[in-house]
Each structure stands twice: as C-alpha cells, then as structure tokens.
Amino acid sequence: MIGDFNNNGVALKTEKLAGSVSACLGFVPYGRFYVPNSNLSVSIKEKVDYYKPILVTFRKNIKDDEYSEITYTKKGLDFSTLTLPTEILSKLSAEVKRAQINNATD
C-alpha cells in the first residue's frame, strides 16, 4: 500500500509511506526522486488517511531511460483490466510491454 503521511507521529518528518499492516517506509523528495528516510514497525493504515494498493512495480538501472524489469505484481492482478497511463507506458522497455501483454493473455 502507498499513501501520504498524515502527520500522526512525534517528530516524524516524511511525506509518503509505502508498506503493509506490519511495517512501512517513509519517503521524502530529493531532486526528481523520493528517497527513504524512515523505517516504521507500524501499520501503514495508522499513518495515512487514505491508501492505495500497489499493483505493479518496475526496475531499471539509474542510467537507463526505460524500466526493463517487472519486480512485483499484485497477486491475482489481471493485466487485461489494467490501463497504465501514457506517461508510464512511455518509460517501459519493449520487453516489459510484451510481458504485460503476455500476462494479460495467459
């Protein structure tokens, strides 16, 4: 899950949280990216007002322009029902796009 930090914490300075019901990581902006700045052993549901599930994550080398690997897919996700924004699609390698299509037709 991922969400915006609701400022529910003593002296915790973070913006975004990503995690589960057992632990979460806090992130702050650093240039064009978000970098981790905290590690909490609490449910993300206690620290955000509204959270969204993470459906898929991609990985790339920092020097690469395109994401070349799918590292996580939500269990039971049907890619045929998932419409990725054009901004994200433009950043995916041809191999990742093929994998997305193949997963949708399996």
pLDDT recorded at residue 99: 73
Q: Is pLDDT of 50 > 90? A: yes
Percent of the chain past pLDDT 70, that is, above it, reads: 91
pLDDT of 101 above 70: no
53-67 confidence digits (pLDDT tens): 998 899 999 899 999
Neighbour tally for 48: CB within 10 Å? 21
Q: What is the signed CA dihedral for 31, 32, 37, 38, rounded to 10 degrees?
A: 160
* pTM exceeds 0.75, yes or no: no
Domain ranges, ordered by start, for the chain:
2-52, 56-105
- Angle, vertex CA 105, rays to CA 99 and CA 106, nearest 5: 85
